[in-house]
Chains A and B, each alone.
Chain A
Amino acid sequence: MIAEFGLAALWLAAALAALQLIAGALAVSGRGGELAGVVRPAAVAQGLLALAAFAALIWAFGETDLSVKLVAMNSHSAKPLIYKLAGAWGNHEGSMLLWVTVMGLAGGFVALVERRLPEPTMLATLAGQAFVSLGFYAFLLLASNPFARLDPPAAEGQGLNPLLQDIGLAFHPPTLYVGYVGLSIAFSFAIGALVTRQVNPVFARAMRPWVLGAWVFLTAGITAGSYWAYYELGWGGWWFWDPVENASLMPWLAATALLHSASVLASRDALRAWTVMLGVVAFSMSMVGTFLVRSGILTSVHAFAVDPTRGTFILALLTIYIGGALTLFAIRAGTVAEGKRFAVVSREAALVFNNVMLTAILGIVLFGTLYPLFAEAMGARVSVGPPYFNPMAALFAVPMLIVLMVGPMLRWRRDRFARVRGPAAIAALVAVLGAIGLALWAKGIGALPFIGLALAPALALASLLPLRGRDPRRTPLPVWGMVAAHFGVAVALFGMASESAFSVERLVAARVGETAAVGPWQVTLRGVEPVAGPNWTALRGTMIARYAGGPEHTLQPQARSFWTPPQSTSESALLTRWNGQLYTVFGEETDDGRWQLRLWWKPFAPLIWLGGLIIALGGALALAGRVASDWRRRIAQARIADRQASRQELRAR
């Protein structure tokens, strides 16, 4: 019953999206009349219905309704409740339902609160959002119905991939999707602005908080996903340039560029066409990523069941939306007026540089991700990994980070470099001293980690300099946000470079009681015992670790065997200190009765994710500042309107 309710809600939501599209389109073309009033309520109702459908799916998973095919395929009655619930989106259909739910709710939220844009632009935006949603409703209802029944019901479910049975599943996908799909708002704003020829600072100011919100979630989602992959896979790496990771990184790069160019448009009325273009590109990258992952044309651990019809369907959606939006852009770009001018040394120019570099990195990542497809068309089977991505991305990231050190201190429109020479010299001095220190005391580290370690402290210092000479209590929140985000970049950079430069790995086969050294740690295997969970059994190694002769710490990594589906995972055990992380993995028994242990000491590795969180926090601060000032302005405007109304009333008497 619940499943049918969910399906009905989904069909209704799709119908409302159609209504929203038609009413919006008619209203924009001036033939809508009364229909214009329908658009906002339709958007809100559509979002709530999609949410109801999603809740129905979670309900079905929660009670393990095995007459629902999706539940039978992906769940199991013996699974802990949290993984039953989170398992609702740990599969293709469920994750697409999460996608349309986020999309519907985002559209509804915009319809509810956004009042800054001229009404026609707003209607065109909501119609655009409905147009995109409609395609994904069609995809869900026609090619991947999550509520399909199974007759007769299964006796028991097939279980969830054990790698997904982790608390990370509860946080990472929803967070990531809010960001990933939230960018659809930027896409729709761009469409709305192009259709009604309203590409101007008002558009940028209205769009900015929405992009910022999506970006905060995207940043947090990528950070969470990276940490999850790091501890769950047991491989000791935190970024693999896997197609799916790239699929989340590409929208992030585009959204980061969009945030910066939107601030130029909002503050200085420049970069009009470029900002609109990025609005289109950001969400297009989300859709391209979904296509790559869900069509199964690229191998990835995130590729759920592979079904060729789905790939074709998503490819058709891609062509319609991206092709359509780019065509609209091509037609209207000529009518977008030139923006204001700026000098070569100015805040705008620094932000243009940031945008070009981010876009170049985006191109590098996109090209590398798609290359195996091109190569396969030519008859060669290849894979592209870190040897390509790392140096190529760094080639553009390093100049960007250098400009980042001075960019925020430059004035809008026109500045002299001499004015920021002092701070720039200090940052350069820190970088040079860092490089000399590394050359002397850390010989033999790779070129990229060397650059990263030398740049990070200078960048951290430079990112704080915009606060210089400001009264902390009077500094606007968005400035704090910018400073925090840039500081977070420096922190993450330091973590990445340090992890890659100084990680020590040790692979040993040890008898119980034997000790192995890894970096400053002495790790002793104290015992091995079997343990059991609700749907798994495991061998657990107990290790005692001492840092440079200090106190003893206990770590208990496991080698787990799940029985539905039959699969093993290794549950790593981590020990975090202020200066790094000890990472332990428990392997198999060797032929002569020893136990395989894999140990890493990763100095300052946790800074990678701490930096990611600081970046997201910076975005959240900026968002809070923008929302607060909009709120104040709205109240002030209401008060002025009120006063004028009462004045007129008095005069009328």
Chain B
Amino acid sequence: MAVNTIKPKHQRLVLLVIALVALIGAALLAAWALRNQASYFYVPSDIAARPPAPDRAVRLGGMVERGSLRQEPDGVTIRFMVGDGKARVPVRFTGIVPSLFVEGSGVVAEGKLGRDGTFIADNLLAKHDERYVPREMRDMTTQQARAVVAQTK
């Protein structure tokens, strides 16, 4: 494509087509990747009903059951139960817990469901302060259980 054999109008058209193809390609790729990579939000009763594939990254939200929090001998791993009033899921987390993480309060755990049914959390999101509540937790309070509302609010 030499400079002088092509009209300016055609060049504009060619550029437009290239840009559109690239952008539509990007959009299609993005749509495909999002279906596979988005991490879905579960509450314990969802996990009981239709558990996610074991190696899939998901988020689990619910209440930390009172009396369920145990620290393992290594000092940095904890286990606890997350419940939503209908079902409960055991969770294991290795790391430094967020300061507002206590028994009886809400939590969103990011991680994967292990093959033995224990949820392996990479990260815990607790209520930061009264002005910042993870969005799922806010929805859960209205959708899931009234008892939960009283405690998280």
Is B75 in contact with A384, judged by CB distance below 8 angstroms? no
Contact pattern, B 110-153, Cβ under 8 Å of A = 1, otherwise 0: 00000000000000000011111011100100000000000000
Give the chain A neighbours of B33 by CB distance below 8 A. Answer: 388, 391-392
A241 to B15, CA, bound (A): 31
Shortest Cβ distance from residue A144 to the other chain B in the assembled complex, whole angstroms: 15
A161 at the interface (CB under 8 A from B): yes
A363 near B40: Cβ-Cβ < 8 Å? no
Chain A residue nearest in CB terms to B12: A338
Q: Is the CB of B39 within 8 A of A385?
A: yes
Q: CA separation between A509 and B99, bound complex, in Å?
A: 17
Tell me the bound Cα distance from A194 to B96 in angstroms: 55
C-alpha spacing A338/B1, complex, angstroms = 18
Residues on the A chain within 8 Å of B139, using CB? 381
CB-defined contacts of A507 to chain B, threshold 8 Å:
76, 94-96
A371 to B38 Cα, complex, angstroms? 9
Residues of B within 8 A of A367 (CB): 27, 30-31, 34
Q: List 18 A-B contacts (CB under 8 A).
A: A274-B19, A304-B131, A305-B131, A338-B9, A338-B11, A344-B1, A359-B19, A367-B30, A367-B31, A372-B38, A382-B38, A384-B37, A384-B38, A395-B29, A507-B94, A561-B99, A570-B96, A592-B75
Instruction: Knowing A338-B8, A508-B75, A596-B96 are in contact, say whether A384-B131 is a contact too (CB < 8 A).
Output: no
Instruction: Given the known inter-chain contacts A341-B8, A508-B76, please indicate yes or no for A567 contacting B40, CB distance below 8 A.
Output: no
Within 8 Å CB of A395, what residues of B? 29
Q: Which residues of A contact B34 (CB under 8 A)?
A: 367-368, 371, 384, 388
**Chain A at the B interface: mostly helix, strand, loop or mixed?**
mixed
Whether the Cβ atoms of A588 and B40 lie closer than 8 Å is no
Chain A residues with Cβ below 8 Å from B130 are 565
B75 touches A360 (CB 8 A): no
Cα distance A498–B134 when bound, in Å?
32
Known A-B contacts: A372-B38, A381-B139. Give 8 more (CB < 8 A).
A161-B129, A304-B131, A339-B8, A356-B19, A364-B30, A368-B30, A371-B38, A387-B39
CB-based contact A413/B3 at 8 Å: yes
Residue A167 at the B interface, CB < 8 A? Answer: no
**A342 close to chain B: CB less than 8 A:** yes
Distance to closest chain A CB from B8 (angstroms): 4
Say yes or no: A303 contacts B132, CB within 8 Å: yes
A381 contacts which of B27, B100, B132, B136 (Cβ < 8 Å)?
A: B136
Q: Are B75 and A343 in contact (CB under 8 A)?
A: no
Residue B26 at the A interface, CB < 8 A? yes
Query: What CA separation (Å) do A274 and B23 show in the bound complex?
Result: 14
**Chain B residues, CB < 8 A from A1:** none
By a CB distance below 8 angstroms, the chain A residues around B128 are: 301, 567
- Shortest CB distance B42–A (Å): 9
Q: Please, which residue of chain B has its CB at the minimum distance from the CB of A375?
A: B38
Contact assessment for B8 and A588 in the assembled complex, using a CB-CB cutoff below 8 Å: no
- Which residue of A387, A413, A509 contacts B76 across the interface (Cβ within 8 Å)? A509
Distance of A118 Cα from B80 Cα, bound (Å): 69
The proximity string for B residues 17-36 relative to A, scoring 1 for CB distances below 8 Å and 0 otherwise, is: 01100110111011101100
Within the assembled complex, what's the spacing in Å between the Cα atoms of A587 and B75? 11
Q: Which residues of B contact A570 (CB under 8 A)?
A: 96
Chain B nearest Cβ from A508, distance in angstroms: 7
User: CB of A29 within 8 A of chain B?
Assistant: no
Q: Does B49 contact A (CB under 8 A)?
A: no
A591 interface residue, CB < 8 Å from B? yes
Which residues on the B side are within 8 Å of A626 (C-beta)?
none
Residue ID in chain A nearest B5 by CB atoms: A341
> Which residues of chain B are near A385, meaning CB under 8 Å?
37, 39, 57
Write out the residue numbers on chain A whose beta carbons fall within 8 Å of the beta carbon of B19. Answer: 274, 356, 359
Contact with B along A296-318 (1 / 0, CB 8 A): 00110101110000000000000
Chain B residue, CB-CB nearest to A298: B135
Min CB gap A38→B, angstroms: 39
Could you tell me the distance in whole angstroms from the C-beta of A350 to the nearest C-beta in chain B?
13
Instruction: Name the contact of B26 in the complex, choosing from A340, A363, A375, A384 (C-beta under 8 A).
Output: A363
Asked if A590 and B75 sit within 8 Å, CB to CB, the answer is yes
Distance to closest chain B CB from A165 (angstroms)? 13
The complex places the Cα of A234 from the Cα of B29 at a distance, in Å, of 34
Which chain A positions have C-beta within 8 A of B76? 507-509, 587, 590, 596
Query: CB-CB < 8 A to B96: which residues of A?
Result: 234, 507, 570, 585, 587-588, 596, 598
CA distance A343 to B5 in the complex (A): 10
Residues of A within 8 A of B26 (CB): 360-361, 363-364, 396
- Confirm or deny: B87 has a beta carbon within 8 angstroms of a beta carbon on chain A: no
- Chain A residues with CB under 8 Å of B100's CB are 567-568
Which residues from B are CB-within-8-Å of A368?
A: 30, 34
Residues in chain B near residue A271, CB distance under 8 A = 15
Query: Do A567 and B99 touch (CB < 8 A)?
Result: yes
> Is residue B68 within 8 Å, beta carbon to beta carbon, of the partner chain?
no
**Which chain A residues (286-338) contact chain B, with CB distance < 8 Å?**
298-299, 301, 303-305, 338
- Evaluate whether A380 and B40 lie within 8 angstroms (CB atoms) in the complex, with A303-B132, A356-B19, A598-B95 already known: yes
